[in-house]
């Protein structure tokens, strides 16, 4: 049995890797390759792995480890500026989407119980997929990224409640048992929060002297919560997720996350291959209509609900649209819920295959949605203007009207005031220089207006918004937005209106920084390599030496371009040196040298 299990795991990994190579050559998401590999080797394909117990073990184990890592990576501090949207918007999204999905299922002829399950399936989004894609694309700290994470956290909390109800339904329990199950669920959450506050910092501090002990401590905590969840009747994935939350003690969580990143990648492959494995043959033609309707609901109706909520809370149309696109998939938790429903006989087994296919389609589509979100918005922006109507329900639409438009001269424009921008703004305040702030987060603008700052709410790509900033008379423009396209749009507008203005922009990596320099940016901020303190030093030097600004900027640009090019060369060399040396050894028979040195 063990031999067969190890063989199936190895076969799943090898198959997933081989198909992933094909996806890489076709420039498609690797996730799609893993799922296709599972379908090829599973019951729907050649049937090389047909053991249902093995399939479920692979899936459950993969989800558990992935959610453990996701729990550790969730940083609630990122959500500080989207609190109202998270609390009220998230709950409204869950309730509205569930009701619409429930009535859609009833209209398609499903039973009441099955419709309730379909309502859950179509309502929740995948924390695992969204965080992975946002991290890969360096968008996790953007405003749309924080909005997505906020709604996902609310959804995960509601999922725990939903699982409590489903567990009670599958056991045929009465109301008292349901209340007891809910109590257990809240107990697990409370245990994780207490562990996070009172225990984690101490045990992790002690274990941090040994990287191996720190890693083993984290894994042990994971399995402790997994065992606790299983004991009270919850899926082990819930326990793993709460274990991850309980270990978010800075800075030890960073070390743990770095050490388990390889586990994350391994089990990510395992999970998606197992997802393909779970597709079994069923009466596809009988369910093609409902499957198409459910897919359209998740890919189009569900994002529209989030878009409307975003506008109702006063966020920019583009911001709300990008956040909405990122939530257009179903959650991995739903596979667990559906499995419980099928095994208990509450819903037909075909619903499981429908859910698995729906997960494949929507999870794969999300990769394209997030990658091309800006281009999709630009393509449909004209038609999306009808949703501006919902902005009337928010008080935020009049944020920049609370103050009179004041004309400035020789001032500084700061675009983006979250984290890095906040540090720069604080330093500029000490210099007593006039600053005009632009941000597309209404909560930040509210706070700045309360502090009597000159701040405007809007998107950097809107020319009418930029007109309020008096760029024509600005001496320095600083963008802390890491999006390259946004920064290039801003650069072109600034240089067109005020060619002598100094422009600072932010980049996430060396390649983007060099592209920005090539396009004429005066200085590029790399947060991963350069702290806000050093940026403030450069700003101070520029502002205190107005006569020699151009010479100073020229020297600064030359210095950092050389530094970035050197770092890029080292990066390329480190990636290709082993292959190059192997090529030289083969070409010139350098193996003889190795024999002589022995």
Per-residue model confidence (pLDDT) at position 595? 46
The CATH topology of domain 55-389 is: Na+/H+ antiporter like fold (1.20.1530)
Q: Are 373 and 325 in contact (CB under 8 A)?
A: yes
- What would the pLDDT profile of 255-278 be if each residue is shown by its tens digit? 676 677 677 677 777 777 877 777
- What would the pLDDT profile of 472-529 be if each residue is shown by its tens digit? 888 889 998 888 888 999 999 998 888 888 899 988 878 888 888 888 888 888 876 6
Please provide the DSSP assignment of 64-129 as one string. HHHHHHHHHH--GGGGGGGHHIIIIIHHHHHHHHHHHHHHHHHHTT--HHHHHHHHHHHH---HHH
Strands (E), 147-300: none
- Among 182-186, 402-406, 435-439, 477-481, the least confident range: 402-406
Confidence of residue 353 (pLDDT cuts 50, 70, 90): confident
Cis peptide leading into residue 251 (ω within 30°):
yes
Helix residue ranges, H only, 251-349: 252-277, 284-296, 302-312, 317-325, 333-343
Q: Are 307 and 324 in contact (CB under 8 A)?
A: yes
Confidence of residue 590 (pLDDT cuts 50, 70, 90): very low
Strands (E), 154-229: none
Q: Tell the burial category of 219 from Cβ atoms under 10 Å away from its Cβ (0-12, 13-18, 19+).
A: middle
Confidence of residue 560 (pLDDT cuts 50, 70, 90): confident
Confidence of residue 171 (pLDDT cuts 50, 70, 90): low
Region at 476 (left for phi over 0; alpha for psi -120 to 50; beta for the rest): beta
3-state helix, strand, coil in the chain (%, to 5): 75, 5, 20
Cα angle 477, 415, 475 (rounded to 5 degrees) comes to: 15
Per-residue model confidence (pLDDT) at position 406? 60
The H or E element containing residue 502 is: strand 502-506
* φ/ψ of residue 411, rounded to 5: -105, 180
Look at residue 289 and tell me whether its pLDDT is greater than 90: no
- Among 8-17, 253-262, 287-296, 463-472, the least confident range: 253-262
Average pLDDT (206-218) is 83
Look at residue 80 and tell me whether its pLDDT is greater than 70: no
Q: Are 367 and 195 in contact (CB under 8 A)?
A: no
Let me know how many helices (H) and strands (E) the chain has, helices first: 27, 6
The CATH topology of domain 407-565 is: Rossmann fold (3.40.50)
Neighbours of 397 (CB within 10 A): 16
Distance from the Cα of residue 244 to its chain's centroid: 16
pTM, 2 dp = 0.73
Per-residue model confidence (pLDDT) at position 414? 92
- What would the pLDDT profile of 321-337 be if each residue is shown by its tens digit? 999 999 999 987 777 77
Cα 79 from Cα 141, distance rounded (Å) = 9
Of residues 507, 505, 480, 509, the one with CA closest to residue 494: 505
Cα 127 from Cα 140, distance rounded (Å) = 12
Residue where the block lists tokens 């709460």: 242
- Token pair for residue 431? 């210099």
Q: Which residues contact 563 (CB under 8 A, 6 or more apart)?
A: none
Per-residue model confidence (pLDDT) at position 300? 95
- pLDDT top residue among 164 and 39: 39
Q: Are 260 and 326 in contact (CB under 8 A)?
A: no
Q: Are 74 and 141 in contact (CB under 8 A)?
A: no
Distance from the Cα of residue 320 to its chain's centroid: 15
Look at residue 25 and tell me whether its pLDDT is greater than 50: yes
Domain range annotation of the chain: 55-389, 407-565
- pLDDT top residue among 20 and 575: 20
The H or E element containing residue 154 is: helix 143-170
Look at residue 397 and tell me whether its pLDDT is greater than 60: no
């Amino acid at each position: 049995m063990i031999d067969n299990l190890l063989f199936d795991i190895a076969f799943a990994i090898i198959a997933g890797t081989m198909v992933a190579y094909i996806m890489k050559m076709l420039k498609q998401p690797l996730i799609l390759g893993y799922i296709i590999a599972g379908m090829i080797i599973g019951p729907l394909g050649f049937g090389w792995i047909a053991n249902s117990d093995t399939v479920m073990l692979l899936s459950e184990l993969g989800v558990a480890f992935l959610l453990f890592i996701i729990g550790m990576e969730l940083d609630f501090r990122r959500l500080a500026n989207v609190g109202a949207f998270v609390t009220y918007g998230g709950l409204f999204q869950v309730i509205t989407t569930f009701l619409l999905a429930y009535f859609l299922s009833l209209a398609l002829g499903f039973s009441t119980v099955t419709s309730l399950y379909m309502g859950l399936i179509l309502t929740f989004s995948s924390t695992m997929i969204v965080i992975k894609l946002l991290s890969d694309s360096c968008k996790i700290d953007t405003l749309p990224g924080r909005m997505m994470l906020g709604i996902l956290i609310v959804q995960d909390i509601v999922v725990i409640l939903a699982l409590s109800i489903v567990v009670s339904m599958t056991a045929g329990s009465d109301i008292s048992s349901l209340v007891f199950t809910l109590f257990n669920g809240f107990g697990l959450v409370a245990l994780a929060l207490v562990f996070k506050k009172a225990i984690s910092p101490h045990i992790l501090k002690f274990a941090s002297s040994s990287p191996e002990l720190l890693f083993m401590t984290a894994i042990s905590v994971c399995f402790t919560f997994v065992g606790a969840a299983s004991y009270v009747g919850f899926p082990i994935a819930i326990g793993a997720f709460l274990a991850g939350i309980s270990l978010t003690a800075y800075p030890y969580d960073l070390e743990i996350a770095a050490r388990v990143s390889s586990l994350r990648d391994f089990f990510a492959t395992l999970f998606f291959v197992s997802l393909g494995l779970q597709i079994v043959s069923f009466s596809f033609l009988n369910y093609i209509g409902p499957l198409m309707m459910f897919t359209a609901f998740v890919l189009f109706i569900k994002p529209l609900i989030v878009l409307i909520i975003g506008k109702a809370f006063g966020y920019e149309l583009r911001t709300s649209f990008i956040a909405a696109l990122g939530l257009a998939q179903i959650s991995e938790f739903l596979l667990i819920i559906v499995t419980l429903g099928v095994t208990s006989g509450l819903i037909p087994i075909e619903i499981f295959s429908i859910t698995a296919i729906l997960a494949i389609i929507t999870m794969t589509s999300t990769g394209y949605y997030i990658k091309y979100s800006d281009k999709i918005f630009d393509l449909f922006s004209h038609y999306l203007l009808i949703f501006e109507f919902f902005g009337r329900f928010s008080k935020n639409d009049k944020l920049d009207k609370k103050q009179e438009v004041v004309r400035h001269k020789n001032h500084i424009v700061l675009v983006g005031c979250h984290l890095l921008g906040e540090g720069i703004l604080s330093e500029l305040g000490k210099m007593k220089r006039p600053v005009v702030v632009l941000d597309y987060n209404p909560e930040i603008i509210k706070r700045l207006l309360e502090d009597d700052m000159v701040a405007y709410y809007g998107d950097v790509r809107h020319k009418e918004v930029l007109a309020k900033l008096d760029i024509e008379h600005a001496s320095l423009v600083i963008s802390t937005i890491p999006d390259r396209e946004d920064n290039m749009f801003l650069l072109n507008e600034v240089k067109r209106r005020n060619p002598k203005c100094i422009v600072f922009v932010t980049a996430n990596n060396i390649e983007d920084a060099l592209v920005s320099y090539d396009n004429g940016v005066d200085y590029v901020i790399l947060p991963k390599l350069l702290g806000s303190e050093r940026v403030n030093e450069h700003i101070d030097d520029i502002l205190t030496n107005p006569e020699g600004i151009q010479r100073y900027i020229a020297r600064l640009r030359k210095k950092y371009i050389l530094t970035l090019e050197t770092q890029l060369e080292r990066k390329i060399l480190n990636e290709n040196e082993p292959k190059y040396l192997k090529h030289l050894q083969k070409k010139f028979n350098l193996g003889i040298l190795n024999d002589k040195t022995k």
